[in-house]
């Protein structure tokens, strides 16, 4: 038997019943809310936002188009029974409050405003809105708890409890939590955080095993203040990754035609744009130097610059303009030991801050973990790897970018660093890596293989 879905928390919406509430007398008397865009058919017939966009007036563009598409989609698909709607006139007046009592329906016989829902308007009147209200036709204000409470107190005289929190509150995460998990120095964290805030885009570069992917997500958590995966998205670039995957492009349909599909970064930016500008979002790109940067980013190479945030350019595939919101941050990861990769695209290099991640064997966090592990074999192996890294760094054919990262010798919390595990790390991971590094110097590879084996013998 399938498990029942968790009930959706109540949402709160700000709504304009026509320009300057022109339709409010009818809507309030008839216990309905409705939206225009009357050239659209039954909204239930549109499978996604792209289908709505294509059906709207092609002369609409930029922010007006995005707002129109979002309002239509939310009216039909995201408002739910029991949600609370605040009707407004302009930006300074609330004229009503009601509870949604039906799904969306199409009433083609109406002269206008044919897309309708039933609403039990519990309060009608005139209340001065606190500050300036959003100008859009429909806005989900659920996440703005203080704002919702102000409206509830203003109109009803009571403060209803805000939208219920998730069953398990998001765990907090801060600088101290980051330094406890990521083996980076205090000053290193402060510099990395400052760089990301200033440039909006950073690349974590380093050899294998320094925890670049692990650090990227936890850097985002530390800047969010909580472990909130809903504001983080991760993709991985590869040689076949394209602009169509990243931003948008035409995809084949089951009927043999093609439809314009939004890519991962486009959708992420629209989610961030719909949220509060003060709430940061983080887009993480693994193996960022494996993709064809100019092909993937296209016109975004300009828009992602810190001082170009908010500026709009017309998209290749859509008759609309697009900008990268200021609250979107990009974190890329680059493996400096991959011989197969060409020099990083200079256009990308200029737009990103680079942070070099090195093996963290000497960091306070790793030293503390090593002491807690209490393994003489682990201690010997760490000493051998530190010496090995010195030899790799001093090798003109290799260098620091090929050092052995601390992640090779780091177990998940709660695990034991037993000798069998350490032996496997040496035989199955480190020695094959050395054979690759010194493929033209087998004697040197064998010498260091012997030192590592002696450490775990």
What residues does CATH 3.40.50.300 cover in the chain? 175-356
Say whether pLDDT at 249 is over 60. yes
What CATH number has the domain spanning 175-356?
Answer: 3.40.50.300
DSSP result, 118-144? EEEEEEEEEEE-SSPPP-SSEEE-TT-
Say whether pLDDT at 446 is over 90. yes
pLDDT in tens, 163-199: 444 445 778 999 999 998 888 889 999 999 999 999 9
Average confidence (pLDDT) over 252-275:
81
Strand stretches in 246-352, DSSP E: 248-252, 258-262, 281-286, 313-314, 321-322, 328-335
Structure tokens at 355: 């942070």
pLDDT of residue 383: 93
Coil, strand or helix at 62: helix
DSSP result, 291-319? S-HHHHHTTHHHHTSGGGTT--EE-SSSS
pLDDT of residue 104: 92
Beta bridge partners of 99: 84, 120
pLDDT tier at 412, thresholds 50, 70, 90: low
pLDDT tier at 447, thresholds 50, 70, 90: very high
pLDDT of residue 415: 56
Global pTM value: 0.63
pLDDT tier at 343, thresholds 50, 70, 90: low
Alpha-carbon span 376 to 246, nearest angstrom: 48
pLDDT of residue 342: 44
pLDDT of residue 456: 87
192 and 219 Cβ atoms separated by less than 8 Å: yes
Diameter of the chain measured on Cα atoms: 90
144 and 131 Cβ atoms separated by less than 8 Å: no
What residues does CATH 3.10.590 cover in the chain? 12-156
Give the closest residue to 13 by CA, choosing from 90, 91, 93, 71.
71
**Looking at domain 12-156, which CATH architecture does it have?**
Roll (3.10)
pLDDT tier at 161, thresholds 50, 70, 90: very low
pLDDT of residue 7: 55
């Amino acid at each position: 038997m399938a498990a029942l879905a968790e009930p959706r928390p109540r949402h709160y919406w700000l709504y304009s019943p026509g320009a300057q509430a022109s339709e409010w007398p009818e809507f309030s008397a008839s216990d309905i809310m409705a939206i225009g865009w009357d050239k659209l058919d039954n909204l239930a017939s549109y499978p996604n936002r792209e289908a709505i966009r294509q059906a709207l007036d092609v002369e609409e563009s930029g922010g007006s188009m995005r707002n129109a598409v979002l309002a239509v989609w939310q009216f039909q698909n995201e408002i739910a029974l029991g949600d609370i709607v605040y009707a407004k006139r302009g930006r300074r007046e609330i004229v009503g409050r009601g509870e949604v009592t039906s799904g969306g329906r199409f009433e083609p016989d109406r002269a206008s405003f044919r897309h309708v829902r039933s609403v039990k308007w519990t309060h009608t009147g005139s209340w001065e809105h606190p500050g300036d209200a959003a100008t859009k036709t429909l806005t989900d204000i659920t996440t703005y708890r203080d704002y919702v409470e102000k409206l509830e107190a203003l109109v009803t005289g009571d403060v209803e409890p805000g939208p219920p929190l998730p069953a398990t509150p998001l765990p907090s995460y801060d600088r101290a939590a980051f330094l406890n998990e990521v083996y980076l120095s205090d000053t290193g964290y402060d510099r990395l955080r400052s760089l990301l805030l200033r440039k909006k885009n950073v690349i974590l570069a380093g050899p294998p095993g320094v925890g670049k992917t692990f650090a990227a997500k936890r850097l985002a958590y530390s800047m969010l203040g909580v472990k909130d995966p809903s504001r983080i998205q991760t993709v991985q670039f590869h040689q076949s990754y394209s602009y169509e995957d990243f931003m948008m492009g035409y995809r084949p349909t089951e009927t043999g035609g093609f439809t314009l599909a939004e890519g991962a970064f486009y959708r992420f930016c629209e989610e961030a744009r719909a949220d509060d500008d003060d709430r940061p979002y983080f887009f993480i790109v693994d193996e960022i130097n494996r993709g064809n940067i100019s092909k993937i980013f296209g016109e975004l190479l300009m828009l992602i610059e810190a001082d170009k945030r908010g500026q709009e350019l017309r998209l290749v595939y859509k008759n609309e303009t697009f900008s990268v919101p200021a609250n979107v941050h990009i974190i890329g990861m680059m493996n400096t030991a991959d011989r197969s990769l060409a020099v990083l695209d200079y256009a990308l290099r200029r737009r990103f801050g680079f942070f070099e991640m090195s093996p963290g064997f000497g960091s306070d966090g790793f030293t503390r973990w090593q002491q807690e592990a209490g393994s003489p074999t682990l201690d010997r192996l760490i000493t051998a790897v530190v010496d090995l890294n010195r030899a790799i760094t001093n090798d003109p054919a290799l260098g620091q970018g090929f050092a052995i990262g601390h992640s090779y010798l780091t177990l998940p919390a709660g695990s034991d660093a037993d000798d069998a595990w350490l032996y496997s790390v040496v035989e199955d991971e480190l020695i094959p890596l050395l054979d690759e590094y010194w493929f033209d110097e087998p004697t040197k590879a064998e010498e260091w293989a012997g030192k590592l084996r002696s450490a775990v013998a």
